Amino acid sequence: MLLREKCPILQFADLGDERGKLVVIEGGQEIPFEIQRVFYIYESDSTVIRGQHANKESEFVLINVAGQSKVRVTDGTEEFVVELNKPMMGVYIPRMIWKDMYSFSPDSVLLVLASTHYDGGEYIRNYNDYLDIMSGVK
């Protein structure tokens, strides 16, 4: 499967009306997992690169609910960049995909939905280790 198919862009329905916009995301429905954790990243400078890890267990959906940022995903072979710039779109990131988040706008609020509670032990933070695992060396 191509990396773009493993990490699909999700378009959420707009339930807005004349009073304003409304986007609903329910675990197991608009996204393919039950949500165990929510966190959000804001006031990251445009020069900062966040993420820089892969997760052995966690799946994520990233949504810029305000402003914009970019996410680079790779499986060690292919890579692509998603520009998150609409509250109605997200990107699904399955297990064992390396991700970098960067180019945060000053008003960026990057919402992350996760399939697990936090466990620092499931993070791979060294890119060479990641490549070794993906190529079967480790």
Q: Catalytic site residues?
A: 53
φ, ψ for residue 3, nearest 5 deg: -55, -40
Strands 9-11 and 123-124: unpaired
| Residue among 118, 126, 129, 135 that touches ligand TYD (CB under 6 A) | 118
Q: How far is the CB of 99 from ligand TYD (least distance, A)?
A: 8
Q: Can you tell me which of 39, 79, 83, 107 binds ligand TYD, judged by CB under 6 A? A: 39
Cα 91 to Cα 82: distance, rounded to the nearest angstrom: 8
Q: Does residue 90 interact with ligand TYD by CB under 6 A?
A: no
Q: How far apart are CA 63 and CA 113, in angstroms?
A: 8
Task: List, in order, residues 6 or more apart from 31 with CB less than 8 Å away.
Answer: 10, 25, 61, 90, 92, 113
Least CB distance to ligand TYD at residue 53 (A): 6
Q: Which of 31, 41, 71, 84 binds ligand TYD (CB under 6 A)?
A: 41
Rounded to 5 degrees, what angle do the CA atoms 86, 87, 92 make? 90
> Closest approach of Cβ 14 to ligand TYD, in Å?
27
Q: Is 93 in the site for ligand TYD (CB under 6 A)?
A: no
Q: Is 46 in the site for ligand TYD (CB under 6 A)?
A: no
Question: Considering the rule CB under 6 A, would residue 80 count as an interface residue with ligand TYD?
Answer: no
Interacting residues with ligand TYD (CB under 6 A): 37, 39, 41, 50-51, 118
